[in-house]
Amino acid sequence: MDRKDVWIDFGFSGLTKWFGSLFEFTPLELVVAAADWGEGAYAPTLREDAVRLLESPLPTRVIDILWCAAVRAEFVPDERWIDGRDWLRQIVDVCEERIRRDEPRSHDLAPVTPCDPDLGDLKDAVLAEVRAFAPELARATADHPYLSVPDVVPALERLVTEVDPDLGFRLFLRVLKAYLIYISESQHLRYRELGERFGYHELVVDDGTLQVMPR
């Protein structure tokens, strides 16, 4: 399936949205539900993002920060419910089991390739958007009275530059949505244009949860 046909946020960023709405499930049950979405259409993109993060040079602390910010959960290093890389391994296992259910004769899944080097211009564009919004983003996350997450901006910068600007942009949007951070109409337009350049369905950016400040 072309990911433009996936009309909700997909992959690792999309998974974080599930954690804001379905409270009756355990974290692993939510991953299973996400991997099953659309008769398994979600599983390949979630596996791809998770493998890229798992095999990336990012420290586990950075992965934990990205996760907490995207699901709007306080970052407390000494009280983590699971190590970030262990969590990614569980996600990968669930996705691979779901993919093999559709392809029972396939024992070796396609390897996840490194980020496309042709995304250089998009990397610069995403990095510029993150840095342009850095003060507001830092205040909303690090200074939140009871759901604070430190160092979100540098974590996003590292994700964009060292791992994947595509995932970096989607998680940037997810943090804006999770913390209900207002953006301007011009920013909204730029984000929509970036989504088109990445080949997203329009509802990946405009799912109704972006807080666009009225003119």
Mean pLDDT of 93-120: 76
Q: Is the pLDDT of residue 113 over 90?
A: no
At 15, the pLDDT band (50, 70, 90 cuts) reads very high
Give whichever of 92-101, 150-159, 206-215 has the largest mean pLDDT.
Answer: 150-159
Query: Which of helix, strand or coil describes residue 202?
Result: helix
Mean pLDDT of 97-109: 74
At 172, the pLDDT band (50, 70, 90 cuts) reads very high
**Region of residue 208 (phi > 0: left; psi between -120 and 50: alpha; otherwise: beta):** left
Q: Is residue 62 within 8 Å of 152, Cβ to Cβ?
A: no
Query: Which of helix, strand or coil describes residue 97?
Result: helix
What does the pLDDT read at residue 12?
A: 95
Separation CA 215–CA 211 (nearest Å): 12
What does the pLDDT read at residue 40?
A: 87
Q: Is the pLDDT of residue 105 over 60?
A: no
- Among 198, 157, 166, 174, smallest CA distance to 58 is for 157
At 81, the pLDDT band (50, 70, 90 cuts) reads low
Separation CA 60–CA 213 (nearest Å): 35
* Residue 69 or residue 81, greater confidence: 69
What does the pLDDT read at residue 61?
A: 94
What does the pLDDT read at residue 148?
A: 95
Mean pLDDT of 132-142: 95
What does the pLDDT read at residue 1?
A: 53
What share of the chain has pLDDT > 70, as a percent? 89
